[in-house]
Structure formats: C-alpha cells, structure tokens
Structure 1
Amino acid sequence: MIGDVGLFGPGSVTWRLHSEPILLLGGLRSLYLQALHPRAVAAVAQNSRYRADPWGRLTRTSAYVGTVVWGTTAEVEAVALRVRRMHARMTAVDPRTGEQFRIDEPDLLRWVHVTEVESFLTTAVRAGVPLSPAEIDSYYTEQLKAAELMGLDPATVPATAAEVSAYYDDMLPRLSLTKESVETALFLTVPSVPENWGGRAFRLGLTLGPTRWAYFGIAATAMAMLPPWARRLYGGLGWPTTDLTADLSARGLRFLLSTVLATLPRSLRSLRVTPIREAALARAAATRAP
C-alpha cells in the first residue's frame, strides 16, 4: 500500500538503527545471551533444526525481523500471526526438572525480545553509531510494538535503558550454563557449512581457510561484547580490556562493512539495500511527495 510505512516509519530510531549492517553482529550476540536461559535454549534445541540447517534458520529469522521493521502493516501482521500460531503448537521439556512447558510462555518471549533489542542497540552504539540517551530510550519504547506482536503485554516489557538494566539484574539468578547452552554456543562459534555451498573443495576451503577464521573473529567479537556477567557465566572474565578490544573490533567491522557495501555495483544493490527496505523507503518517499 502506497504510503504505508508499517510500525515505525522514517522518523523512528528503529529505521535509523536497522539501516546499519553491523546489526548482524548484534543478532549473533543476542543468540549467545539467549542461550544462557535454560528454558529458552531448551525450547530452541528441542524444536528447531538449527544444527541441520543453521543458515536457513538465520535467513528466516532475519526475514522476520526485516519484515517487522520495514514491512507494511498487513505484512507485519501476517508474519507475526504465522509465528504466533507456530509457537502455540510447540512445547519443550525443562532439562533440569523434567517439566513440560509451552515455548510461548510470556517469560520466555520477554527474554528473547529483550536480549534481541538490547543486543541490536548495544552493538550499534559500541560500533560507533551516534545515539543520545533519549534516542536509546526511544528505540526501546518503539520496540514495544514488536513485543506486542509476539503476544506480550507491552506494560510488562522494559521500555528504557534503565528498565532493561533492572530486568537483567532480576533475571541473573535464573540464568545458568547448561549442556544445551554450551552446545549452542560452540555451534554459534563454529557452525557447519551448508552442503549446497559449492563443491567439496569450496566447503573444505571455507571450513579451514580465511573465511572460517574471519567468521571466528566475528563470533569472538560478539562473545566479547556480552555483558561482563554473561561472559562470566560462559567461564570468561569480565575485564575492562575485553570491552575496549570488543569496541575497537566492532568499530572496525562497521567501517569495513560500510566501505565494502558502498563500493558494490548496482547489480548487487540488494546486498546494500534489501528489497523490503527499499520498498519501505519508496513508500515513505511517496507520502512526502506533493
């Protein structure tokens, strides 16, 4: 629909933030965080084929986030309804107690939402995206719309930086490193290579060569950008020097991504501006046209 800018629009912090390719690093960071919640990681491990098809799952998750951010109202409502219906059919078993639970429990949905939006925001800021404290709070408040789409009561979701910090403090006693947490973190750090990515020589080169080491560096940066309490749960130390190194790495990655994408030819435009974002920008421009 012409002029339909969806949930957010051109004046939002959300549109500004999600124009940054470095948010891919934030997505990876959020997965490391989510894996520290025993029930959340059990729900994924028991209901997802991420080990068999990690890149497919990543593509589907990215498509969902992209639709929520850039889609029309109808597109957003349709994709959210589809995900809610899928989640409503799924259950998992708590590995610590043997209790069966629904994966759309509000506590789990809230954990996934908060870790995701906080990771996007924290990664962007630490990578050098200039945001004022007021804009940071605005992003959290805007994202209440995304939380509501997943079935959460917005009144129960942290809506400012201070509320997110308090939420993490409250959640910390409930978090722990389980067998599934360790397996998930290892898999995120050293994922498998899809069979359809070329021939055996290509896969071997990706597994052992520069691309694998480049990805490992990105994963290490995502891990280093975790809050000190999360790094300690994973068995690492919360040294301030880790934060400084992570910030420098994130800033370097942001500069590299921006430089590479800016030099791509028009034939590869979709790598710079995704089709759904391009369509959203076109609809926004149409609303401003005389």
Structure 2
Amino acid sequence: MKNQVVEATTGLFSHGPRPLEHTLDHAPDPGLLGPDSVSWRVIGDAAAFVGGIRALIVQTAHPEVVAGVEQHSRYRSDPLGRLTRTSFYVTETTYGAMPEVERAVEMVRSAHRPVTGRSERGRPYSAAKPELAAWVHNVLTESFLAAYQAYGPSPLTPCDADAFVEEQTRIGALLGADPLPATADDLRSWVADHPALDTTNDLGHAIDFLRDPPLSLPVKVGYRPLFQAAVATLPDRLSHIVGLSPSRGAGEIGRVATNTLRWALGSSPSWHVSLVRSGAPVPDGLFRQPLPAAAEALVAGRA
C-alpha cells in the first residue's frame, strides 16, 4: 500500500520541470529562507497537499484573478501540468539556492506579463499588478498555514506562525506583490475580509473543476478527502462566496488522509536534499524517500 501511495502522489507532479534538479551545484547555499526557517518545516509536511488545494479554491473568489485563470490558463486541457508548474515554483522559492529562487520568480513574472484582460464584472486586470500578485501570493501563504495548523503534526506557536508569514513575505517581495501582511493574524484578516471578492460564473466553473478534476480513479479517491479537508478550513465568508461547505466529518477524514500521506511519503524529499546542500543537520525519522545518488555522495564526502 505504501508504494502505491508514493507512486500515485509523486506521479501527479511529474508533468513538467523537476525542481532542484541541479541544486547540489550550489552547495552550501542556504537559499532565501534557510534550514532554520519555519517555512521549510511547513511546506515540507504532508499537510501542504491540503494547503495547495485550499489556495486554488480561495483564489477563485477574486473576480479579476479567476478571470485571468479562465481566459489565459490551460488548466482544463493540462491540469497536471499546471499543478506541476505550481509545485515547481513553491519548491524552488522555498528550498532552492538563490539562483534557483531567482529563476523561479522570473519565470512566474514573465508568465504573468501578458495575462491581461477584463473580468466578468467589467474591470480590467493585469496579473503583473502588485495587488493581484498579492492576492495569489498571500492566499497561498495563508492556505499553507491554515492547513498546517489543522492537519500538521502539531500546530505552530503564534511566534512560529508569524515567523512563517514573515518568511513568505520575502518571496512575495521578489514577485513585486503588495501589500504583504507580516503577521498570521493580519494575513488571515486580509484574506478573509478582502473587499474585492465576489461570486462570478468564472468562479463557478473553476470550483466545479476543482471539485471533480479529470484524474484517474485511484488518484481521485485520494484527492476527494483532501479537497474536503481544505473546504473544512474555510472561514464562513469565503465558504459562502465560493459556494462550498464541508461534508460531515471532513476535518477528521482529512486528518486521517494527511496522516496516511505522512506515513507513506515522509517529509518532502526537497527539504531533505536542501538540508544536504546547505550542510545542515538532517533530523532523524522525517524522511522516507531515498536521496539522489549525488546527495548521498555529498553526505559521504563530508563524513
């Protein structure tokens, strides 16, 4: 069963470039956030799967952002490609050496420059505008935090939650996003009470897709409890706007699903290889998947 979970999950993220493919070339670069950051711990946990789904749900609540997705994205024809590219960006900006961070940010900024148009409610949009970049970035940060607090091994302390948000503002600043709330409470309020949010047909189309994406049956069986786990963390206003409410027991089922992923996958192999690259100690018991041969050789050489 464990091998099946690993294969099904990792297969979702194999439809595009591989993150950190040459990260060991930059040893001992600690990257933008570094091995002592809260971000490495949060993004490296299985709860990040729930956080990623939650971010996609919440991002649809901004009419100009969802219009850009509907009018410019290929997510319907290439859903796993989009998922892989998003995962690539999060992984490289979180764990990458500085050249990898800068490359990932520039790739996103280049992709956003031509994304312009007019939303369903008649407002012009540009994905390169600081306020729209802020919605996408801040929702991603807030969703990873909400998922970790609900389904992580143990909730972060208020101090660590604030540290996570502050660390993520460094990535947002490279993207040109503005504003960037710097504490967990401020970020939570900024997202939940954002004045630009509204229900649109574009939102409905995106939510229908997220509710039932075109995945193979075994993968879909694993996706559904994670989707419901994400819905269970939505505040009331956002739940109302996106038209979703959790099924009975969604939170508890989400904890079981996340614990199963944690048992099968361990913590992120990207976290593991980045610890090796930076020369930091590797905690016992966190990682299940084998290191690449080059990383094993680096560890042996240091020993």
Taking structure 1 as the reference length, the TM-score comes to: 0.82
Are the structure 2 counterparts of residues 113 and 286 from structure 1 closer, same or farther at C-alpha, using a change threshold of 3 Å? closer
Residue 296 of structure 2 is matched in structure 1 by none
Are the structure 2 counterparts of residues 64 and 128 from structure 1 closer, same or farther at C-alpha, using a change threshold of 3 Å? closer
Residue 198 of structure 2 is matched in structure 1 by 176
Paired-residue identity, %:
34
Identify which of 54, 76, 81 aligns with 2:106.
Answer: 81
The answer to whether the Cα contact below 8 Å between 2:225 and 2:254 also exists between their aligned partners in 1 is no
Residue 160 of structure 1 is matched in structure 2 by 183
Identify which of 106, 128, 142 aligns with 1:118.
Answer: 142
Deviations 1:262-283 (A, max 9, x none): 5xxxxxxxxx643x43431112
Residue 212 of structure 1 is matched in structure 2 by 220
Deviations 1:21-43 (A, max 9, x none): 22011100011100011001001
Deviations 1:114-153 (A, max 9, x none): 1111100110110143310000000000111110121125
Number of positions where the alignment pairs a residue of Structure 1 with one of Structure 2: 258
* Structure 2 CA distance for aligned equivalents of residues 129 and 96 of structure 1: 42
SS at match of 1:143: helix
Residue 196 of structure 1 is matched in structure 2 by none
Shift of 1:243: 9.8
Shift of 1:6: 0.4
The answer to whether the Cα contact below 8 Å between 1:6 and 1:70 also exists between their aligned partners in 2 is yes
Shift of 1:179: 0.4
- Give the letter for the 2:142 counterpart: E
* Structure 2 CA distance for aligned equivalents of residues 113 and 278 of structure 1: 25
* Structure 2 CA distance for aligned equivalents of residues 135 and 214 of structure 1: 30
Are the structure 2 counterparts of residues 66 and 169 from structure 1 closer, same or farther at C-alpha, using a change threshold of 3 Å? closer
Residue 230 of structure 1 is matched in structure 2 by 238
* Structure 2 CA distance for aligned equivalents of residues 279 and 214 of structure 1: 26
The answer to whether the Cα contact below 8 Å between 1:3 and 1:287 also exists between their aligned partners in 2 is no
Identify which of 224, 245, 259 aligns with 1:255.
Answer: 259
* Structure 1 CA distance for aligned equivalents of residues 281 and 222 of structure 2: 42
Deviations 1:53-112 (A, max 9, x none): 001100010011000011110111112112212212221212111x43211111111111
* Structure 1 CA distance for aligned equivalents of residues 158 and 43 of structure 2: 18
Taking structure 2 as the reference length, the TM-score comes to: 0.78
Residue 55 of structure 2 is matched in structure 1 by 30
SS at match of 1:247: helix
What does residue range 1-290 of structure 1 map to in structure 2 within 5 Å? 1-97=26-122, 99-130=123-154, 131-153=156-178, 156-168=179-191, 170-171=193-194, 173-193=195-215, 206-207=216-217, 211-236=219-244, 245-262=249-266, 273-274=268-269, 276-285=270-279
* Structure 2 CA distance for aligned equivalents of residues 227 and 47 of structure 1: 29
- Give the letter for the 1:168 counterpart: V
Are the structure 2 counterparts of residues 260 and 104 from structure 1 closer, same or farther at C-alpha, using a change threshold of 3 Å? same
List runs of 5+ in structure 2 lacking aligned partners. 1-25, 283-301
- Give the letter for the 2:235 counterpart: P
Shift of 1:182: 0.6
The answer to whether the Cα contact below 8 Å between 2:67 and 2:120 also exists between their aligned partners in 1 is yes
The answer to whether the Cα contact below 8 Å between 1:4 and 1:284 also exists between their aligned partners in 2 is yes
* Structure 2 CA distance for aligned equivalents of residues 244 and 20 of structure 1: 25
The answer to whether the Cα contact below 8 Å between 1:113 and 1:147 also exists between their aligned partners in 2 is yes
* Structure 2 CA distance for aligned equivalents of residues 37 and 74 of structure 1: 32
The answer to whether the Cα contact below 8 Å between 2:275 and 2:281 also exists between their aligned partners in 1 is no
SS at match of 2:227: helix
* Structure 1 CA distance for aligned equivalents of residues 43 and 68 of structure 2: 27
- Give the letter for the 1:256 counterpart: T
